[in-house]
Structure 1
Amino acid sequence: MADEIERKFLVKEGWQPQHVGVRIAQGYLLSAPERIVRVRIKGDKGFLTIKGRNEGIRRLEFEYEIPCADAEALLKLCEQPLIEKTRYLEEVGGFTWEVDVFAGDNAGLRVAEIELPAEDTPFEKPEWTGQEVSGDARYYNSSLIAHPYCLWKTRS
């Protein structure tokens, strides 16, 4: 069993990546509140991920590398549209932040995530992070399929 403890923040205008990003295409075979089953191609690798219900900023997560050809075939079975984004890694205060810059129906959305070893772990918040959206389900990737960012009337 693996716990994922994650905090999410919007990324302020003006942030510029420090490194080359990796393209990600991901889809959901199942996106229920109790569990999600995600297929992802990240660069040239495929992954199958199962996540449990969020309990605050904690949830169960199981991720397995699968052949890229299998991931490509599974993406065709996923709910549409797929999530398209580029992920950039930023090192700040001993932690790796993942900054996702979305494309397609979610273009304009930029979210930074940090995984922590415990819910009360202190961390340095970079100056390019804005509002915390950890508990806001609108920002879950699985929610962005049914309610893409391009259709939001008011944006945070």
Structure 2
Amino acid sequence: MALEIERKFLLQQSPQQLAATGIITILSEQRIEQTYLAIDSNEEIRVRKITDLSTKQTSFTHTFKRGNGLVREEIEYEISETIYGQIMQAFGYIPLTKNRITAQFDNGLIEIDIYDQIQLTVLELEFSSLQEAESYKSPAWFGADISGEKKYSNKKVWKQLQDGKFE
């Protein structure tokens, strides 16, 4: 199982503003529809439909994650459009939708998620080790560190969407 080590920040500026001032360079943008099939306090199973907005190519993934906080185990693989469609039809859930911008910043990559159903923009930064993640000093424009705040997790927001209420 691969490890995902990431920190999340509550971004206050738009990616376009950051790009216009030369702080970041936007590399790509994707449209993501994300649905959870099973969730508990320590594990989740989800599917995604991911469309590259420049090429219009679409892929579908199935992901299992275990753990909480900065480090989680993750298994992700592609599934067919047919399987994705059958899952979506069988469960009838409302997908969480967002645009994901991948950008170059300071010799590394960041991902910025801009959500549709709620007013939320999150910057994610992945690391190769827990030590690197814990010692990283983020620039002020990243915003507040929300890495450990469950109310900003995708699965929490998705669950609120299914219940028809947001906190």
TM-score bucket of the superposed structures, by smaller chain: 0.7 to 0.9
Question: What are the ranges of 5 or more consecutive residues in structure 1 without an aligned counterpart?
Answer: none
Matches within 5 A, 1:5-154: 5-16=5-16, 18-43=26-51, 44-54=58-68, 56-78=69-91, 80-103=93-116, 105-106=117-118, 108-121=119-132, 123=136, 125-148=138-161, 151-152=166-167
Map Cα deviations across residues 98-151 of structure 1 (whole Å, 9 max, x no partner): 100001x22x11101111100121556355310010000111111102235x73
Q: Is the 8 A contact 1:80 1:145 kept in 2?
A: no
- Higher helix share goes to which structure? 2
Looking at structure 2, the residues matched to 2 and 53 of structure 1 have their Cα atoms a distance apart, in angstroms, of: 12
Asked if the contact 1:84/1:102 (under 8 Å) is kept, the reply is: yes
**Equivalent pair of 2:10/2:145 in contact (CA under 8 Å):** yes
Q: Percent identity?
A: 29
Corresponding residue SS for 1:21: strand
Give every structure 1 segment of 4 or more consecutive aligned residues whose post-TM-superposition deviation is greater than 6 Å. none
Distance 1:13 1:129, change over 3 A: same
Q: Which sits farther off after the overlay, 19-28 or 8-17?
A: 8-17
Contact 2:38 2:46 in 1 (8 A): yes
Q: How many pairs are equivalent?
A: 149
Paired residue type of 1:48: H
Pick the structure with greater CA Rg: 2
Structure 2 portions without partners, runs of 5+: 20-25, 52-57
1 CA distance for matches of 2:92 and 2:125?
26
TM-score by length of 2: 0.79
Does the 8 A contact of 1:41 with 1:72 survive in 2? Answer: no
TM-score for the superposition, normalised by structure 1: 0.84
* Alignment check: 8 A CA contact 2:60 2:81 kept: yes
- Whether the 8 Å CA contact 2:32–2:100 is kept in 1: the answer is yes
> Is the 8 Å Cα contact of residues 6 and 113 (structure 1) preserved in structure 2?
yes
What amino acid sits opposite 1:53 in the alignment?
A: G
Give the superposed CA RMSD: 2.2
Sort the Cα spacing of 1:81 and 1:95 in 2 relative to 1 into closer, same or farther, 3 A. same
